Amino acid sequence: MSQELPQASVNLRSPVALDWLDAISESNGILSAILAVIHPKLYDAGWQTINHLGDTPEFGDQDILDQWASVFSGVGVISNRYTPPHRDTNSRANWYDILATLGRYESCDLKLPGLGISLEYGPGTVVGIAGKVLEHAVPSFKGDRVCYAYFMRDNVHEWAKIPCRDWMHTGYYKK
């Protein structure tokens, strides 16, 4: 059975969206570099997948890929919203999502109910999280807050036939 070619979000098919991608390209590169440190094999698989999309002539939105400076296959922008407890279902258990939050806000915690912990989640915080495994939530804050949630989609990696089945472990850092 042949899988359908992944498509870029309709929301990215405008000149304004391409300008936005250009504006966040440095941040995308930095967050990708963070993934290279916290899960090098996932970083490699992400680049291979993005490059495979770029090498696929049938993928019609090459202008978007030219602007896409990230190993992640997607980014969600969450603006001034509380996030109820949830798990991210379209990923893999051993993959990390990156959450980067900014703005002028206070009194904000990232809750991990399954672990029974709450992390201070102030402006400028970057968190790598196995979002499919760990239930997470941001139930409250005061002020203006934006979270960029970077993720990889399992179906895109499956289509590209680029696996990343390994869990992160410290052996990746040994020579």
Rounded Cα–Cα distance for residues 94 and 134 (Å): 11
Assign 107 to helix, strand or coil.
Answer: coil
Rounded Cα–Cα distance for residues 8 and 79 (Å): 21
Domain boundaries, the chain: 75-150
- pTM exceeding 0.75: yes
1 — pLDDT class (breaks 50, 70, 90)? very low
pLDDT one-digit tens code per residue, 40-85 = 999 999 999 988 888 877 766 567 777 788 999 889 999 999 999 9
Task: Report how far apart the first and last C-alpha atoms of the chain are (Å, whole number).
Answer: 40
pLDDT one-digit tens code per residue, 93-152 = 899 999 999 999 999 999 999 999 999 999 999 999 999 999 999 999 999 999 999 999
Assign 168 to helix, strand or coil.
Answer: coil
Fold of 75-150: Jelly Rolls (2.60.120)
- Token readout for 155 is 């179906």
Between residues 16 and 170, which one has the greater pLDDT? 16
